[in-house]
Amino acid sequence: MSQTGGRLRLVFGLVLSAILVFYPLGVQAWVWHTYGGSEYSLTNNPTTWELAENEAVSAGGHLVTINDSYEETHLIAFAYASNLEGDRLLWIGFTDKVTEGNWQWISGQPVTYTDWGPGQPDDSWGEDYADMDLRSLGVAKIWNDVSNNYSIFGIIERPVPLPGTALLLGSGLAGLVVWRRRRS
């Protein structure tokens, strides 16, 4: 094998490794929508809150943290544009599973906004997870606490990837190989 061929394989391997580090791959077919500094997608299938959060983590984020009414309005429009079938219920990343009555975002971000429906959260059956109920839009506030027994879609939120991070890393590594080749 030539020295150049070995170097090219090394560069290709390093670039591919960088891509895998910065852009998690999987069999999922998430469709991302950008708003502010985040990207949003729905889970691939209706599922429990815990499994929806696991999917969100595998996509590089968490179930959505809603910071204000503007973000919530954007998410509602995104959900309607996604043409959801069946109940218009969606998991969000709000939970009191650690300490009953102490609602926290799974992302660890501070609680700056809530939109509980009337009488919610009520923890009527050990309900530790929040959903958005889009059926009550215009009638009432839309968050409800529910148990982990429901199988509904969740909204995934992750940071917008830095543009071209893998490309920049790959270009830098290729430049290093060329530079070393010229020195020898």
Bridge partners, residue 156, by sequence = 41, 63
What string of H, E and C letters represents the secondary structure of the chain? CCHHHHHHHHHHHHHHHHHHHHCCCCCCCCCCEEECCEEEEECCCCECHHHHHHHHHHCCCEECCCCCHHHHHHHHHHHHHCCCCCCCEEEEEEECCCCCCCCEECCCCCCCCCCECCCCCCCCCCCCEEEEEHHHCCCCCCEEEECCCCCEEEEEEEECCCCCHHHHHHHHHHHHHHHHHHHC
pTM of the predicted model over 0.75: no
- Rounded to whole angstroms, the Cα distance separating 113 from 17 reads 39
For each successive 10 residues of the chain (184 residues), what is the average pLDDT? 56 44 52 93 95 98 96 89 76 96 97 94 92 74 91 95 64 67 71
Q: Which of 70, 80, 96 is nearest to 155 (CA)?
A: 80
Fold of the CATH domain 27-160 = Mannose-Binding Protein A; Chain A (3.10.100)
Ordered by start, the domain boundaries in the chain are 1-23+162-184, 27-160
The string of pLDDT tens digits covering residues 63-84 is 999 999 999 999 988 888 887 7
The predicted pLDDT at position 42 comes to: 94
The string of pLDDT tens digits covering residues 37-62 is 999 999 999 999 999 999 999 999 99
